[in-house]
Amino acid sequence: MLPLILSFLIINASPDAGTAGFTFLKFTPSAKEAAMANTSIGLESNGGFGFWCNPSSIVKGSAVSLGYLGLPAGIQYGAVGYAKSKPISFVQSGGIGVTFLNSGPMKRTDEAGNELGTFSVAYACLKVAGNIIQDKNINAGAGIKVLYGSIDSFMGFGLAGDLGIRYKPTIQGLTLGVAVKNFGYQVKAFDQEKDKLPLDVGIGAGYNASNDITLAFDVHKPIDNRVLFNLGVEGWANKYVALRAGYNSLGEDYKTGGSSDIMSGFSVGLGVKYLNYQVDYSFTPMGDWGRLHHVTLFLSL
């Protein structure tokens, strides 16, 4: 039931498409990573959403982030995150955050197409994560997620976990990462059959070519799709403005033969920073399926 209702959000060409539930977990809450085509495994992230991309992220001080993503068909996705260095003695950096998705009213019809009122779909995820191992060259962290979903009068619950490692080799500016996301179990099914969670295993690399230019590359395998790759680049024009772009091979699945297919998979965005504030924006075309607009506000405390 769940994959059928949300199939227009996560479009897959794989034979395994539709076999996982809670697919809203595939969205990143960070507009920065979204502009770089969701490339984040090896990328050194900061801010209130860094631990969401990889729980081994390091935060200096503390930060709060707010995010909003506008999806096709009027579906709304939002996020709030808080991260802090040394929140407790054995955690080097930690964070807590919530993401949520709401479809708004959707038409209910019978088999003949007659309208029978409306219903809605909603999801939420509470995540707590921490970097528990940190030395000169390696960071390792873990996160726990509590999942909730509702489809009309049906409700489902789940528990999931994330693991992440980042390693800095002797090559200056290079960071390597490994991430295992969304492994877990649906505790309560929406109806009778429980869904698999959208497990994703990946490796990535981030490279600071200079103080102003960062390159990133990920390869990952979702449980419900083929092997995918992501490329991203970020360049700071000055100390206030950053430009970003990326390519996600999942964009091949958005193509429908229309004239707008040429941009499927690509994303662009920018960031504006002033003092302790930063606003990030990303734009992702999805061919004839629509466009994604993503905004994040980041405050360093």
3-state secondary structure 98-117: EEEEECCCEEEECCCCCEEE
What CATH number does residue 216 fall under?
Answer: 2.40.160.60
Residue 129: per-residue pLDDT: 94
Distance CA 27, CA 158 (A): 17
CA 63 to chain centre: 18
Distance CA 191, CA 194 (A): 8
Distance CA 24, CA 100 (A): 8
Residue 17: per-residue pLDDT: 59
Question: Is the CB of residue 249 less than 8 Å from the CB of residue 229?
Answer: yes
Which residues are within 8 A (CB) of 251 and not within 5 positions of it... i.e. 6 or more apart?
A: 264, 265, 266, 286, 287
Q: What are phi and psi of 157, to 5 degrees?
A: -135, 150
Residue 12: per-residue pLDDT: 46
Per the confidence metrics, is the pTM higher than 0.85?
yes
Distance CA 218, CA 179 (A): 10
The boundaries of the domain holding residue 140 are 2-300
Tell me the pLDDT tens digit for each residue of 61-82: 899 999 999 988 788 999 999 9
Residue 16: per-residue pLDDT: 58
CA-closest candidate to residue 58, choices 134, 142, 4: 134
Number of domains in the chain: 1
Which residues are within 8 A (CB) of 178 and not within 5 positions of it... i.e. 6 or more apart?
A: 41, 164, 165, 202, 203, 204
- Please report the DSSP string for 169-226 in residue order: -SSTTEEEEEEEEEEEEEEE-SSSSPPBP--EEEEEEEEESSSSEEEEEEEEEETTS-
Dihedral angle of Cα 152, 153, 157, 163, to the nearest 10 degrees:
10
Distance CA 145, CA 182 (A): 8
Q: Length of the chain in residues, anyone? A: 301
Question: Is the CB of residue 294 less than 8 Å from the CB of residue 67?
Answer: yes
Residue 96: per-residue pLDDT: 95
Residue 2: per-residue pLDDT: 38
Residues of the chain with pLDDT under 50: 1-12
CA-closest candidate to residue 119, choices 220, 261, 1: 1
Question: Is the CB of residue 250 less than 8 Å from the CB of residue 262?
Answer: no
